[in-house]
Amino acid sequence: MASGSARVSASSAPKSIWLPILGLSLVYSIIASLAFFLISWLIADLQYALSGALAAGMVIGFFAIGILIAEAAGRIRRSWAMPAFLAVFVVKVFGIAFVLLNLGLPVWVDRQGFVLAAAISLVAWQVGEVRAFMKARLAIYNEE
């Protein structure tokens, strides 16, 4: 065969891209949250660290729920996965805002630790999602 006429084999699509995204995002976010917990416990105190753990748990929980709903919607009909993911995202944003504004945080929560840990966990989660999406693209369009 001539070098220019080599056959390109199609990659097999995974059954779901959502579960690998969930897995990688969880790994990134949990590692970042554990690092924050240990460092803040050593530098500040246990209350600061526990405040961060609460925030990280909320971020991880809300984002994981969104991905699981997208997975479930995608199993029903593939074209429903992304709209379901986006709808759940909007509901989560307003839901978190409603809970925090109306119910508030427990009195023991250190607000600075809570906000800092939430931001760190959120950024780590997003890095995991982007990396997982990049890997999903490579499985479809393998250019190597």
Domain of residue 62: give its range.
17-142
The count of domains in the chain is 1
Is residue 6 one of the residues assigned to a domain?
no
Mean pLDDT of 41-63: 94
Give the lowest-confidence range in 40-44, 76-80, 81-85, 139-143. 139-143
Is residue 121 one of the residues assigned to a domain?
yes
Is residue 60 one of the residues assigned to a domain?
yes
The reported pLDDT for the residue numbered 2 is 53
Is residue 2 one of the residues assigned to a domain?
no
Is residue 77 one of the residues assigned to a domain?
yes
d(CA 55, CA 61): 10
pTM above 0.95, yes or no: no
The reported pLDDT for the residue numbered 110 is 93
* pLDDT band of 81, cuts 50, 70, 90: confident
Q: Mind spelling out the 3-state secondary structure of 81-122?
A: HHHHHHHHHHHHHHHHHHHHHHCCCCCCCCHHHHHHHHHHHH
Token couple for 88: 């759940």
End-to-end CA distance of the chain: give it in Å, rounded: 19
* pLDDT band of 17, cuts 50, 70, 90: confident
Is residue 3 one of the residues assigned to a domain?
no
Is residue 91 one of the residues assigned to a domain?
yes
